Structures are given as C-alpha cells and as structure tokens.
Amino acid sequence: MARSPEELGVTRSAGVRGKLLPVLPALLLLIGLLVGLFTPRDVRPDAFLATAMVSAAALLPLWGTVLIGVGGCAIFVGLMVDFNGLQDPTAYSELASLVAIAAFAVFFNRLLGRHAHQLVQVRSVAEIAQLAVLHPVPRHLGHVSLESLYVAAAAEARIGGDLYEAIRTPYGVRLLIGDVRGKGLFAIQTAATLLSAFREAAHDAPDLPHLACRLETSISRHASQYPGAPGSEIAERFITALLAEIPDDEPVVRTVTCGHPPPLLLHHGEVRELEPAAPSPPLNLGMLAGDGYHVDLAPFHPGDQLLLYTDGVTETRDRSGAFYPLTERIRSWSGEAPHHLLDHLHHDLIAYSGGALDDDIAALVARRRASR
C-alpha cells in the first residue's frame, strides 16, 4: 500500500511516541531516586514518584502499574532509611499518601482496561453492522474492474450515511453512490433502505430514469412510515445520489445525477468532470423533478476509469481552510489500477487534512477492461 511522504512522517512520529511513552513511568521513578540522592534532604521526591504511579495507570498494563507503585513506595522508604528520615513524623504521612496513590493507580488502570474492552466490542458490532449495510463490492463484474473506499468520520463507530453499490444486470454494470443528509441511526436506516431498493430494482428497471423513480418511491415510502411527517427528521431527510450504467456492448457510460457531485472520467491521463446537462433533485425530493430524470452519455473505452465520490472528499479542508482539489490531485494517479488509485487518494486526504477528516468519505472506481 503506497503512502504519501507526509503520512509516512506522521506514522513514524506516532510510532516513536508509542515506544517512548511506556518508558515514562520508569523514567519518573529514576528521576525521583536521583532527586532524593543528590539534593538537600528537605527536597522530597514525592511528586516524581506519585506522577510515575499515575502515568503508569494510563500507559502500562496492570502488572506494570503494580510494579511502578511498589517500586515508588520502596524508593521512598529506602531514601528515608538512608537519611534516617523515618524519625520525622511527616515521612509516614507522605508514605501513606504514596500508598494511597498507588492503590488509586491500580484501580484507575482496571477501569481503563474495562472501558477499552467495551470499546473493542462496540467497534466489532459496528463493523458487523457496516458489512450488513455496505456489502463488499466485487473486484470484477463483467468487463468492469471495481474498487471502493469508505471512511467514517466517527472513527470509533466506523459507520455513517455514505453508501455505494455495484451490480451486474442484464443492462450492464449499474453503480450507485449516495450521501444521506445528516448523521446517526436515522442516516444508517435511510442508507440501508436505499441500498435494498437499488439491489432489487437494478436488475429489472429498463433504464436509469426508471431506476431513479423506483428509488425515489422506496425512499418516499420509507419517510412516510414515520408520523408527524412535516418537520420530522425522517420526512425531511434526503439523499444525494448518482446512478451510472456501463453496458457490456457499448463503449459508453450513462449517468443520472440526483443532486450529487459529478463523477470524474479518467482517460489517457486526462481528467474530466461529467457535469450533468439537467441535474435532478436529491431522492425524497422527487416532487421537484417535474421533467423526470435526464440521462447523460459519455464515451467510456477500455482502460478508462470512472471515479464516483461523496462530498466528504471535495469538502476536506487543509489547515488554511482550502478545499481539497480533487481534479488536480487525481490527475497524477489516473493511470493507476483502481485499488492503487484509491490508496493514493485515501493517504493524500489524510495528509491534506492533517489527519483531521471530519466528514464521511466514500469513493468507487470503475475501470473498463478490454474485451477478450
């Protein structure tokens, strides 16, 4: 998997930090010991020893936290014995404080471990739910090679409202990419409804306008199931979507755009936006589509690639607030295979945003292969 130089720098620095942080508690114990040995007797090492215990709770496993706690108390007792400090009554109160901090560190470590285990379980459930909604896209469908990318903005949840699908039908390979307005459970429910409708209707809808009408009907029915429709979150939820059809026997691609960003056509190093001649409104706003759905046609020869994406890609910002220049960036990778192209795109988005992706991202690449 290729990585950009910027991301490699971030990865290396994160790896170095990951290796150094677990050493911090032991280093603090050493500093406390040196302070106790080489400073005046009225300078006590308690602060360093206590900090070592607390940091161990966050950075080390249970056995490491216990070891640091016992070691800190042992260092303090050893220093007091060496300097005859046990005759000082305050030494006992300081020792009692360190023992209490060590006990709290062990308790805190167990609490963090329990929460970490719960987070792993939540992530596992979210991944299963994601797979149930977004099926893995086949690498090959007929004369088309495919690759997909999905990155949820809520990294802990790993699930969001962006969606895509690719299906082999009697009319060729049909593609869908969409973006549900809003976040959370309602967005996921709406995305699941649209995907289910597409998987069913794509096989028998005679053309893309009929397919778009079927999807509009399904989403409208889904929204109507919720009472208090006017003003309700479900009723007002819409989906920007793009439908594409790559027939087996013609070197073309047909698209219907429903309020979605236009796809990019990659042809011999050139990148062109396939702007719709008559864009349609997003799904669940079908009452605005007075003239029906318009089909756009573009050449799509062997070796050409089609990039479908959600607005999370083009709305990624750098630190100055500038939007990600997708058309400009993708040109240098246009000759790559679909999975390499999306690898480059993913890593470049991370580097461009400084690792702060704040919206869901979905992308789908289709490449026409030569007929055998």
The answer to whether 333 and 264 are in contact (CB under 8 A) is no
Residue with token string 């699908």: 165
pLDDT of residue 323: 94
The two tokens of residue 352 are: 């461009």
% of residues, the chain, pLDDT over 90: 42
pLDDT(181) > 90: no
pLDDT band at 230 (very low <50, low <70, confident <90, very high): very low
Band (78; pLDDT cuts 50, 70, 90): confident
pLDDT band at 233, cuts 50/70/90?
low
Cα gap 172→256, rounded to integer Å: 15
Supply 116's token pair: 């970490």
pLDDT band for position 15 (50/70/90)?
very low
CA atoms within 13 A on the CB side of 367: 21
Pick the range with the lowest mean pLDDT from 18-22, 67-71, 240-244.
18-22
Least confident stretch, 16-30, 55-69, 86-100, 327-341: 16-30
Whether pLDDT at 18 is above 70: no
Q: Is residue 20 over pLDDT 70? A: no
Instruction: Output the pLDDT for position 162.
Output: 86
Of residues 6 and 177, which shows the higher confidence score? Answer: 177
Output the pLDDT for position 93. 81
Distance, CA of 165 to chain centre: 18
pLDDT (0 to 100) of residue 16: 42
Q: What is the pLDDT of residue 284?
A: 87
The residues near 313 (Cβ < 8 Å, ≥ 6 apart) are 324, 326, 345, 349, 361, 363
Which of the given ranges, 51-55, 217-221, 325-329, has the highest pLDDT on average? Answer: 325-329
Convert 12-40 into a string of H (helix), E (strand) and C (coil): HHHHHHHHHHHHHHHHHHHHHHHHHHHCC
Angle between helices 24-38 and 62-82 (to 10 degrees): 0
For tokens 């056995």, name the residue.
63
The pLDDT, as a whole number, for residue 214 is: 94
- Give the 3-state DSSP-derived string for the chain, with helices as H, strands as E and coil as C: CCCCHHHHHHHHHHHHHHHHHHHHHHHHHHHHHHHHHHCCCCCCCHHHHHHHHHHHHHHCCHHHHHHHHHHHHHHHHHHHHHCCHHHCHHHHHHHHHHHHHHHHHHHHHHHHHHHHHHHHHHHHHHHHHHHHHCCCCCCEECCEEEEEEEECCCCCCCCCCEEEEEEEECCEEEEEEEEECCCHHHHHHHHHHHHHHHHHHCCCCCCHHHHHHHHHHHHHHHHHCCCCCCCCCCCCCCEEEEEEEECCCCCEEEEEEEECCCCEEEECCEEEECCCCCCECCECCHHHCCCCCCCEEEECCCCCEEEEECHHHHCCECCCCCECCHHHHHHHHCCCCHHHHHHHHHHHHHHHHCCCCCCCEEEEEEEECCCC
Angstrom CA distances, 147 to 120, 342, 367, stand at 27, 8, 9
pLDDT for residue 160: 62
pLDDT for 201 beyond 80 = yes
Q: Which residues are CB-contacts of 244 (< 8 A; sequence separation ≥ 6)?
A: 174, 175, 176, 253, 254, 255, 263, 306, 308, 366
Question: Residues 48, 5: contact at Cβ < 8 Å?
Answer: no
Residue 372 has a pLDDT of: 57
Token match 């969606």: residue? 163
pLDDT at 135: 79
* Contact predicate 353/153, CB 8 Å: no
Asked if residues 238 and 181 have their Cβ atoms less than 8 Å apart, the reply is: yes
Q: Is the pLDDT assigned to residue 365 strictly greater than 80? A: yes
Tokens of 62: 């249970």
Q: Report whether pLDDT(11) > 50.
A: no
Give me the chain's average pLDDT, please: 83
Condensed to tens digits (0 to 9), the pLDDT of residues 206-218 reads 999 999 999 999 9
pLDDT in tens, 93-152: 888 888 999 999 999 888 888 888 777 766 665 555 666 667 789 999 999 999 999 887
Give CA–CA dist 236/151, Å, rounded: 25
Q: Looking at residues 159-181, what average pLDDT do you find?
A: 90
pLDDT score at 294: 92
Question: pTM value?
Answer: 0.69
Reference 106, options 51, 60, 45, 48; nearest CA is 60
209-218, 232-241, 268-277: range with lowest mean pLDDT: 232-241
How do residues 299-358 score in pLDDT, each as one tens digit?
A: 999 999 999 999 999 999 998 989 999 999 999 898 899 999 999 999 999 999 887 777
